[in-house]
Structure 1
Amino acid sequence: MKTLRKSALCIAMGVCLSSLAPFALAAANDGSLVGRLVAGGGEGVAGAQVTVRNVETGLTRSVRAGADGEYRFPFLPIGTYVLEATKDGFQATKANDVRVSLGNATSVNLTLAAATTLEAVEVVGSAAATIVDVTSTESATNLTKTELDRLPVERSAQAVALLAPGVTTGAFGGVSFGGSSVAENTVYINGLNVTDFYRRIGFSSVPFSFFKEFQVKTGGYSVEFGRTTGGVINAVTNSGSNEFKFGSELIWEPSFLQTDGKDKYNPDGSKVSYQYDEYDRTNLNVYASGPIVPDKLFFYVMYEARDYKDITVTNDEGQQFRAKSPDDFWGAKFDWQITDGHLLEFLAFSDKNSSVRNDYVFDGDTGQRGAFSNRRYTDSGGTNYALTYTGYLSDTFSMKLLAGGNERDRVQKSLNDIDCSRIRDRRSGGGDVGCTTSGLIEEGKDDRKAYRLDFEWSLTDHLLRFGLDREQNTSDNVSFYPGPDRLLYEIFTTSPGATLANGGVVPAGVTAYVRGRQQEVSGTFETLNTAYYLEDNWSITPTVTLNLGVRLEGFDNKNGEGDTYIKMDDMLAPRIGFSWDVNGDGRTKLFANAGRYFLPVSNIINVKQAGAFLDRRTFWAFNGFTPFTYNGQTYQNIVFGPQIGPVDDSQGDGTVGDLRGEVDKDMDPVYQDEFILGFQSMFDEHWGWGVRGIHRKLHNAIDDMELTSNGILCDGEPGSIGYVMGNPGRDVTVYTDTNCDGVNDGYVTIDTSRAGWAMYDDDGNYIGERGYTQPKRTYKALEFTLDRAWDGKWSANASYTLSYSRGNAEGPVNTDTGFSDTGRTEHFDDPYVDLNAEGPLPNDHRHQIKLRGAYALNDNWRLGGTLTALSGAPISGLGVGNPYDGTNYHSFYICVSNCTADNPSERVYRLSPRGSYGRLPWRYDVGASLTYARSFGEADLSVTLAVYNLFNSTRVLSVDQDLQTDIGDELNPTFRYGTDYQTPRYAQLKVKVDF
């Protein structure tokens, strides 16, 4: 009966919102409008003219309905449209307020009434939003800026992503999609990939007010998206229209609206200081938009002035850091509707940021700042741009071309690093004695050139989508030791007559020497990522859609001299899905999809392994120290004696070495398979619900692993290879010494699941080999969602996710040990790091509950609220040794007796299973907002006070998971001590005026 009533209403109104049209797909930075024209009896109306007009820009397009009355408008800019259908013999029919959203297709079926002898009457209907898109097989959450303004949501794209089911806060400032690590996601703005390709953590950012709409893809995305095994954040920015607008917005997070941080105390009574931490943030933006030529050329520009000050004190209250980030933002968007069939848009913005941090001595007893000790500089961000052409070449064939790029600075250095060389006394009881303790200083710039070409061809029962996606990602990089001469000075004990590493002989009377080491890696490192895709969306019946797609990927990583050293191509990523409109009324769907997703090799691998490597060492006699004063502190300088022996650069002469012995010749890519089965339905015009089952399995890893055996015995022992980039637990083919003459001369293939690590007994005799465990990660989840669309009075959304993330490898970064060099984790530094290491992974949050909603008290006052309740991550107790040899890396084994024995076989270990030390506590975060909005003539005023962590929850977010830090009988006394806690309650005031 409900279906009949709805159908009758559709016929009476002349408009039916449904998804009975065969294809409902859209590209990355726009949407589509699809549907069917039917006569009063339900038969299709062929040949009718269907016209769509954007109410803001006047963009108008017309197509002829197909043989069964179907029509399609691809590549439409998001916004509100008027849809009209006309044909001789029928009354003209119009639908107003048709909303085209990002990455989706809005489906509108129109019913044309037969013309009468009376004057033709135009039947007008108003199209309301539907919650269910019955032809889509994607798992995505769409949120407009208008919807987000009703909620207390932190002003970032990541905060928006966290509203989606299955997305959680991860390590290193990132977010985790479906159990993946934070280094596996991709972010698009207006179709341009803005993801950091150096580490794949972070992305180019714009002010929240610059955005117009977000789409968070958590699974099942179609073949135009790739290079991710996590999720996709897809966003578009504001654009100009025929109406001239301007305004300003002030966002203020003052320190006096922050709850003072409370010091934390560990079980041993030691304090973790928070009481002196505070910040103050002020952002003021102004914007203007409108027509340059009405109905043709539009602009939108924004400038944002920023002021951010941050004060933090170290846990021991011995130092205070005062940081400031003053850089401003500018952004612009231009849209040219050359004709109704040809569009051109240009986006440019700068998120360049330079921050300065001053370090001071601090007295925790008095709360007083002392002497200045250092100044640190950090440069990040840069310019971003994209030029996009859209061509509607015929009623059934359209194309989109994007060319763009972005650049990001990557510089961290300090005043002390410029002025001071690092001096380390490596003799017993020594340490750092100079005025800097920094390691290698790195300066880099990353530059992406991106090109996309997308086509769409609509046939009778098929929609073909195909295109190519190419990126040229270049990192200019140099790393070096601090100090004016870029040397690290280290002091070692020696004796007269001893021969040093450079062949020099220690003179008489010398008992210590200084080694000055210049270690530098430099070069321009390029990676080419290329993909071709083809997808057929087949309307098998009016209610069943089959999605068949394939993406062909290729990754080409080059060394510092421009030569390929890691290349993987012909990677086939099939995607298949179906959607069934169960009742044929556009209100209920059953859907499923299966797909494969590949992850590229980040540029940090090129830089760390394939650059021009210089390792120059000079030796001097050590003649003691002389004190000197720097920033009010007393340090030591070296008194040099005569140089001993020649300068030695045999370890690296400043050129790119032979990488054939360091990289697997036949490396396989990292990929993940995903399977989703879901159901969605509408209770009525506003309420909808859904359930989704997800299974993800990560296959393979690319990481550095040490191979101490090449399988070739020379005098009864195998030759050693060293660290190799390859696939742990699989075959590795490397160039090595095959005839025992000490020179690499041929390739060998090693099955690293069984071999590659030489084993020795207590007497040093070779006794065989051990291999590596293959990486494993499996994510299983069940998601429930309930959604109530905004009706001018209130809206609500609720989700619950039950998930399990298990395996022995988190992904290309490692939360367990805090290692963020993507693809160079400690997972495979030896075979024991992941031996018997399977269990719940760091991003395993068993239960996730998310609520959000808004309520209009009256025409002027509105309330908003959010709640996130997240069960805690697992706690592991990491060791450093293993029961098989004397190596000393992270492992899941703890030495329990005879730990100081010289013979490794006498030491006794026990397995410390992953996640066996309980879980972190549940995390609760409640946000609330109150908004006052009112119009004063031509001005619209909006004032919002948002409070985050309303109840000032201070739950621990991470703990020390090192149970044993050395092979010894003693356990780490700080095991399970808190290392990070929830941010105390804070508030944000937003005042916005639009004209």
Structure 2
Amino acid sequence: MKGKTLVRTGLSMAMGICLASMALPALAANTDGSLAGRVDAGAEVTVHNPETGFTRTVRADADGNYRFPFLPIGTYKLQASKDGAPVGEAVEVVVSLGNEANINLGDATNLGAVQVIGSRVITPVDVRSTESATNVTKAELERVPVGRDAQSVALLAPGVIQGQYGGASFGGSSVSENAVYINGLNVTDFYKRVGFSSVPFGFFKEFQVKTGGYSVEFGRTTGGVINAVTQSGTNEFKFGTELVWEPSSLQSEGKNHYDADGNPYRVASRDQYDSTNLNVYASGPIVKDKLFFYAMYEFRDYRPESTNDAGSTFFKGKSDKGFWGTKLDWQINDSHLLEFLAFSDKNETTTDNYRYDFAAGQRGSRTNTQFSEGGGVNWALTYTGYLTDTFSVKALYGENKRDRIQTSVNDVQCDAVQDRRRAGLPQIGCVSSAQIEKGQDQREAARLDFEWQVGDHLLRFGLDREVNTSDNESFYPGPTRRYYQIYPTLPGTRLENGGIVPAGVNAYVRARQQEVSGSFESINSAYYIEDNWQVTPNLMLNAGLRLEAFDNKNGEGNTYIKIDDMLAPRLGFSWDFRGDGRSKLFGNVGRYFLPIVNQINVKQAGAFLDERTFYVFNGLESFQYNGATYQRPVLGAQIGPVDNSQGDGTVGDLRSEVDADIDPVYQDELILGFQSMLDETWSWGVRGIYRRLHNAIDDMNLTSNGILCGGEPGSIGYIMGNPGKTATVYTDTNCDGVNDGYVNIDTSRAGWALYDADGNYVGDRGWVKPKRTYRALEFMLDRAWDDKWAFNASYTWSKSEGNAEGPSNSDFGFDNTGRTESFDDPFVNLNGDGPLPNDRRHQIKLRGAYAIDDHWSIGATLNAQSGRPINAFGKGNPFDGTSYHSFYVCVSNCQADFDQRVYQLRRRGSGGDLPWTFDVGASVTYQRSFGAADLRVKFAVYNLFNQQRVMEVDDEFESGIGVRNEFYRFGTGYQSPRYAQLTVSLDF
């Protein structure tokens, strides 16, 4: 991926005239909408927002085309005039986020392509758009029971499901492949790419969920995009307050689950919380028609309670850090706008840990206190310039911060101990912190976007640059700073350090010391150019090209992984085949690249220590701490050498730890769709979707460099590379124990040394290439709100197949993005093709609202989906003596040498599917005005029928080679119990 400098230079020069005088690089990420159409040639068209006084006039070209780009979302008056006389009547038009309202004006207003909803005009079919997106306003969400966060809104869109680790899966992708924008500022977590900065629900104004086919202005995602804008001030002074209350008394009790002997393995009956949020806001003009403000402060009080899965520890938490946010809008004049956004989502949680007797339901003495901090201060400054009737610019610069801090009182005195022979992977030592982490992530984002109308061509081009810095210090708790994990095993098993389990040993202890500190930076930059060509009045072609570059740096500030000249072409069309603006046939094909998370820099390119020592397990001993009894392993003889192949505590020469010619992760997508209005309120659509993920960047343990030294190959250790492709790695080429040159290793055939049962080297083997395909059909039906009722329905049939879920892997519950267990050795994914964890063959989503009268209304939602596939993972394989995850299960001779064991292949999904889940929500809303005050009371119930069906299970059929996991298919995740929410708002 090196060279191609001429391509980048040429693209830069094509934009050079326009960009040379601009200091801020980049693009504004659809923080607004646009308005376009046709009118008499030479006529003037004026758009006016009565709420802010914003007015702009453009002249139609010789063909009668007019266009208003970069319009802040809202309701506008649209009027055409010619020779000073009005042409037709003024039209009130709604401009929505990320969409273009297309209104044709003439001697009489042409409303054939729009819907008249109340007194407003909306355009449900954007005949110039080729993307797949769902728009939802705050007003719509207030009518139905929807969780009060951006991700809950995203789950309303077809093809989006709840994934593991608190994320969402778009179109079969893993949860770490999405992007989230607030007012054009990218607020996506770049450390692991799971999660994002958040603001209160009341601070939002409108959402757009992009599920595919999005423009080249969006990149760094192979999943989906959540695009949101916040409230803004107007010429009318407003203030108000909103209370959101979720009491534990209105929550159903979680179900407890027991093993075959009647012992609890997942206690949930004490899991509950009390949540109270009270926000106050004010907005209005500082200078009428010029300068506006919106400000909000939210008081928060969140008090969760829960137990661990075994019911032996009780957790009581408290989080009461408030939120503040503000938005300033300055209409300098009708040609220049400036807006400023700032908010703080910092949060701090303190959790006390207590001894707990589940059988007696009694809480004992306090054993520990944990502290966690997250969020941070975010801000963005955005400029919009309408330089001529046909040429406009938008620029943004901002910062996004997120803390990552986790500590506890016991961290100094207690080592972490985990017994992986038990369900739920319980911590059995006197500390529950797996790792002490003190970090902060800061993004500096600069973006620039141009739009230039040249006849029938709408040219859009820009730059996009982010500098993402992670300051990090992390280590395991305790005086030894080692994490002790107990694993089941069998004699003769080869461990990951090459050691052989001695005879008579059925369990071992891995003592791991993992530490890293420093500042780590990644620079992501992109150029893009796009032509939207109106070939005929009814046919639009879209052709775009995005040129990306990723530069991940090590702890010393030098480049660690650099991938540049990534060309992402995207082509699309939209055909208004009837010519009335009410229907369209559309399609697109495109390529999307995914950056490398900063966690890779931190974990593998810093002064990283990852030392693993293996011991014979000689049982557990009990000890007292703070009046409580805990357990820790008794260490026997050491097995094999100390393994620090993944980090020896120095930055070192990283050429031996990364493929020098690494290829990016990217996805190709093809969509063909149809959308049409049935009448003034009803519309429907259908989409066919095909996605294919190419490549993976993950860690692989190369135990062979292909060069025989003393009859055996030299071992390289773990590298970051592309499984199944050629890796160029710096290694020892002359068997003197010193790395001195590069070798090319085709990891589809080599890189893993094979040994016979006597320990003799017998050759190499390689890795299977990662694969993921997603096929789907989506059907949508929508009835717009007409002050009486609204309805939306979608059905998605989909199939997600392959052997790689993506950068995040939920097969084994391992959330290290980009460092999954899928490719640690060649056998994890061997013959592992089949339905992937985010495969939901059927999804049905319904939502609707009905106004009973002027004061009372009801709303309901349904999310029904088929269950995820179940695997049957074994340990070990028929090809060598290692004991890692695989799709092979030992069925006989399991304690013999590996070449005498008998294995059975259990393909992906061989355990069947989990049951369907149904989640019904219901709400009732009361509204009334009292003079200048507007009261709204909403009572919503989520999971109305209190279904608590299993959504995730333990997929490991074996806990050791030939050792059946007694908790196989036991639930590890369930639907949340029913809960209720009361919202009371008062606006003046």
Same fold (TM over 0.5): yes
Q: CA deviation at 1:517?
A: 8.9
Q: CA deviation at 1:980?
A: 1.5
Which amino acid counterpart does residue 383 of structure 1 have in structure 2? V
2:600 to 593, 605, 609: 605
Q: Are 2:284 and 1:282 aligned? A: no
* 1:332–1:980 Cα change, 3 Å: same
**How does 1:334-353 map onto structure 2 within 5 Å?**
334-353=328-347
1:534 alignment counterpart = 529
Which amino acid counterpart does residue 684 of structure 1 have in structure 2? D
Alpha-carbon distance between aligned partners in 2 of 1:650 and 1:165, rounded to the nearest angstrom: 44
2:978 to 977, 985, 993: 985
Alpha-carbon distance between aligned partners in 2 of 1:367 and 1:844, rounded to the nearest angstrom: 39
SS at 2:151's partner residue? helix
2:987 alignment counterpart = 994
Which amino acid counterpart does residue 312 of structure 1 have in structure 2? S
Alpha-carbon distance between aligned partners in 2 of 1:71 and 1:216, rounded to the nearest angstrom: 28
Alpha-carbon distance between aligned partners in 1 of 2:914 and 2:510, rounded to the nearest angstrom: 46
Q: CA deviation at 1:26?
A: 9.7
* 1:541–1:432 Cα change, 3 Å: closer
**How does 1:551-950 map onto structure 2 within 5 Å?**
551-613=546-608, 630-633=625-628, 654-901=649-896, 903-950=897-944
Q: Are 2:417 and 1:415 aligned? A: no
Contact in 1 for aligned 2:28/2:449 (Cα 8 Å): no
Alpha-carbon distance between aligned partners in 2 of 1:605 and 1:552, rounded to the nearest angstrom: 23
SS at 1:239's partner residue? coil
Contact in 1 for aligned 2:349/2:372 (Cα 8 Å): yes
Which amino acid counterpart does residue 84 of structure 1 have in structure 2? Q
SS at 1:112's partner residue? coil
Alpha-carbon distance between aligned partners in 1 of 2:441 and 2:270, rounded to the nearest angstrom: 36
Structure 2: stretches of 5+ with no match in the other structure:
1-26, 110-117, 421-425, 487-508, 614-619, 635-641
SS at 1:586's partner residue? coil
Contact in 2 for aligned 1:26/1:105 (Cα 8 Å): no
Alpha-carbon distance between aligned partners in 2 of 1:930 and 1:671, rounded to the nearest angstrom: 45
SS at 1:140's partner residue? strand
1:33 alignment counterpart = 35
Alpha-carbon distance between aligned partners in 1 of 2:531 and 2:398, rounded to the nearest angstrom: 28
SS at 1:305's partner residue? strand
Alpha-carbon distance between aligned partners in 2 of 1:259 and 1:809, rounded to the nearest angstrom: 37
The C-alpha deviation readout for 1:17-44, integer Å capped at 9, x for no partner, is xxxxxxxx9951000011111xxxxxxx
The C-alpha deviation readout for 1:914-953, integer Å capped at 9, x for no partner, is 1011111000000000000000000000000000001111
Structure 1: stretches of 5+ with no match in the other structure:
1-24, 38-44, 115-124, 492-513, 619-624, 640-646
* 1:920–1:485 Cα change, 3 Å: closer
Which amino acid counterpart does residue 133 of structure 2 have in structure 1? A
Q: CA deviation at 1:365?
A: 2.1
SS at 1:335's partner residue? strand
Alpha-carbon distance between aligned partners in 1 of 2:868 and 2:461, rounded to the nearest angstrom: 41
Among all aligned residue pairs of Structure 1 and Structure 2, give the percentage whose two residues are the same amino acid.
69
**How does 1:33-432 map onto structure 2 within 5 Å?**
33-37=35-39, 45-88=40-83, 91-112=86-107, 128-271=121-264, 272-420=266-414
* 1:944–1:638 Cα change, 3 Å: closer
SS at 2:874's partner residue? coil
Which amino acid counterpart does residue 875 of structure 2 have in structure 1? V
SS at 2:103's partner residue? strand
1:122 alignment counterpart = none
Alpha-carbon distance between aligned partners in 2 of 1:665 and 1:911, rounded to the nearest angstrom: 35
2:538 alignment counterpart = 543
> Root-mean-square deviation (CA), in Å?
2.8
Contact in 2 for aligned 1:26/1:75 (Cα 8 Å): no
Alpha-carbon distance between aligned partners in 1 of 2:578 and 2:427, rounded to the nearest angstrom: 74
* 1:638–1:665 Cα change, 3 Å: closer
Which amino acid counterpart does residue 763 of structure 2 have in structure 1? G
Q: From the CA coordinates, give the structure whose radius of gyration is larger.
A: 1
The C-alpha deviation readout for 1:635-663, integer Å capped at 9, x for no partner, is 79999xxxxxxx99999775311110000
2:5 alignment counterpart = none
Q: CA deviation at 1:613?
A: 3.0
Q: Are 2:955 and 1:965 aligned? A: no
Q: CA deviation at 1:479?
A: 1.5
Contact in 2 for aligned 1:82/1:94 (Cα 8 Å): no
Which amino acid counterpart does residue 567 of structure 1 have in structure 2? K
Q: Which moved more, 1:90-99 or 1:456-465?
A: 90-99
When the two structures are aligned, how many residues end up with a matched partner? 915
Contact in 2 for aligned 1:26/1:104 (Cα 8 Å): no
2:505 alignment counterpart = none
SS at 1:132's partner residue? coil
Contact in 2 for aligned 1:91/1:112 (Cα 8 Å): no
* 1:481–1:737 Cα change, 3 Å: same
The C-alpha deviation readout for 1:330-387, integer Å capped at 9, x for no partner, is 0000000111100000000000011011111111122111011111111111111000
The C-alpha deviation readout for 1:608-667, integer Å capped at 9, x for no partner, is 00111357999xxxxxx999864223679999xxxxxxx999997753111100000000
Q: Are 2:460 and 1:458 aligned? A: no
Which amino acid counterpart does residue 974 of structure 2 have in structure 1? Y
Contact in 1 for aligned 2:568/2:591 (Cα 8 Å): yes
- TM-score of the aligned structures, taking structure 1 as reference length: 0.89
Alpha-carbon distance between aligned partners in 1 of 2:673 and 2:716, rounded to the nearest angstrom: 49
Which amino acid counterpart does residue 539 of structure 1 have in structure 2? Q
Which amino acid counterpart does residue 838 of structure 1 have in structure 2? D
Contact in 2 for aligned 1:282/1:306 (Cα 8 Å): yes
Which amino acid counterpart does residue 361 of structure 1 have in structure 2? R
The C-alpha deviation readout for 1:843-866, integer Å capped at 9, x for no partner, is 000000000000000000001010
The C-alpha deviation readout for 1:276-312, integer Å capped at 9, x for no partner, is 2211100000000000000000000000000111111
SS at 1:110's partner residue? coil
* 1:489–1:854 Cα change, 3 Å: closer
Alpha-carbon distance between aligned partners in 2 of 1:783 and 1:218, rounded to the nearest angstrom: 11
- TM-score of the aligned structures, taking structure 2 as reference length: 0.89
Alpha-carbon distance between aligned partners in 2 of 1:423 and 1:921, rounded to the nearest angstrom: 34
2:506 alignment counterpart = none
Q: CA deviation at 1:84?
A: 1.2
Alpha-carbon distance between aligned partners in 2 of 1:577 and 1:208, rounded to the nearest angstrom: 34
1:10 alignment counterpart = none
* 1:743–1:988 Cα change, 3 Å: same
* 1:486–1:893 Cα change, 3 Å: closer
Contact in 2 for aligned 1:222/1:575 (Cα 8 Å): yes
* 1:653–1:681 Cα change, 3 Å: closer
SS at 1:875's partner residue? coil
Alpha-carbon distance between aligned partners in 1 of 2:648 and 2:779, rounded to the nearest angstrom: 59
Contact in 2 for aligned 1:96/1:126 (Cα 8 Å): no
